[in-house]
Amino acid sequence: MAQAASPRPARRVPFGAAMQAEHLGDARYRALFRAHCDLVLPMNELKFGLVHPEPERFDFAPADAVLDLARAEGQDARGHAVIWWNEVPPWLAAVTEPGAAERALRQHVETVVGRYAGRLASWDVVNEVVAHEAPPDAPLRDTVWLRALGPRHIPLAFAAVATADPQAKLVLNDYDLEFEGDRYDRRRATVLEIVRQLQEAGLRIDAVGIQGHLYAEKRIDIPALAAFGAALRRLGIALMVTELDVIDWRIPGGAAAQDAAAARIVGDFLEGVFAAGRPAAVIAWGLTDRYSWVDDAMPHADGTPSRPLPFDADYRPKPWFDLIERRL
């Protein structure tokens, strides 16, 4: 039987979004992903605490629901995330001994990354490993992994994922890499330093994921972002936008003002990202404002609903999606 033509427009840069298994019963949600996404990833379903809640128990059903649908729709998929400071299960949080931590990491990677080997185009191997303020004397975030293993948990994770899925691109993913200011300069420098150290150790890393959780009232440092992308390119590393959305908690004036502010900052962000060449992909952290993490994590003080995503709560495209359509 001839393969059905893709319902999606031809793009030079793939567009994708994080999908949540819990919303798959919503047919309009599924249709939105089908119509617009070249690439899909499970938003939470592959995080350590959800997929590996007990030492010998794994729960793959929610991730499979997302990944099986993506496969049926002919979409690429990716994995998020092996190492993260958050959503660590209690059993792992209690691990302090280096040997036990290393065994836990290896068992997790062999089982979870191994299970999907060959099916995922990329994996976020480490997520948010840079300390929030990135002080020069302690640039890495204090996590269960850092406490048990020290900085070597980073090369250990990259090596283990490369072995478990040799085809998947290996990504170092982090946030706050696009704004103006010393803290952001330090964060960009720390990411570059981690990449260099991995390469010096002879390990493979393919891309840096820039999450792109933007704030409507913060300024993008377009030249710094361009320089960051260029420095990565010189190291042979691609840039990938992995979690794009716009936190608009201080934008007054209602929906039109929120959407205009969001389009402005997404436009600046894309300009900085594309300055060093086309990114490997642009991925939004969800598609519709109906389901976003922003109102849970960072709500407007006055209860105004956030409008962080490219489609509104009634699944209509917003101004920042037009930018995506034009740029990609």
Pick the closer one to ligand XIL by CB: 17 or 104: 17
Place of tokens 């994590």: 297
Report d(CA 232, CA 176) in Å as an integer: 16
Q: How far is the CB of 43 from ligand XIL (least distance, A)?
A: 5
Q: How far is the CB of 293 from ligand XIL (least distance, A)?
A: 3
Pick the closer one to ligand XIL by CB: 128 or 259: 128
Report d(CA 23, CA 213) in Å as an integer: 22
Pick the closer one to ligand XIL by CB: 75 or 173: 173
Q: How far is the CB of 44 from ligand XIL (least distance, A)?
A: 5
Q: Which residues of 254-275 are buried (b: 16+ CB within 10 A; e: fewer)?
A: eeeebbebbbbbbebbbebbbe
Residue in 64, 2, 73, 81 with CA at minimum distance from that of residue 38 = 73
Q: How far is the CB of 270 from ligand XIL (least distance, A)?
A: 20
User: What 8-state DSSP symbol labels residue 4?
Assistant: P
Residues ≥6 apart with Cβ < 8 Å to 191 = 130, 172, 174, 177, 208, 228
Report d(CA 115, CA 123) in Å as an integer: 13
Q: How far is the CB of 154 from ligand XIL (least distance, A)?
A: 16
Helix axes 254-274, 319-327, angle to 10 degrees: 20
Report d(CA 193, CA 138) in Å as an integer: 13
Cα 327 from chain centroid (whole Å): 20
Report d(CA 248, CA 308) in Å as an integer: 7
Pick the closer one to ligand XIL by CB: 21 or 104: 21
Residue 210's φ and ψ, nearest 5 degrees, are -105, 115
Q: How far is the CB of 174 from ligand XIL (least distance, A)?
A: 9
Q: How far is the CB of 209 from ligand XIL (least distance, A)?
A: 9
Pick the closer one to ligand XIL by CB: 102 or 190: 190
Pick the closer one to ligand XIL by CB: 82 or 225: 82
Cα 183-282-117 angle, rounded to 5 deg: 105
Q: How far is the CB of 261 from ligand XIL (least distance, A)?
A: 20
* Contact in structure between 248 and 306 (CB atoms under 8 Å): yes
Report d(CA 37, CA 13) in Å as an integer: 11
Pick the closer one to ligand XIL by CB: 102 or 184: 184
Site residues (vs ligand XIL, CB under 6 A) = 43-44, 127-128, 211, 243, 293
Pick the closer one to ligand XIL by CB: 173 or 258: 173
Pick the closer one to ligand XIL by CB: 102 or 154: 154
Q: Which amino acid is at 167?
A: Q
Q: How far is the CB of 206 from ligand XIL (least distance, A)?
A: 18
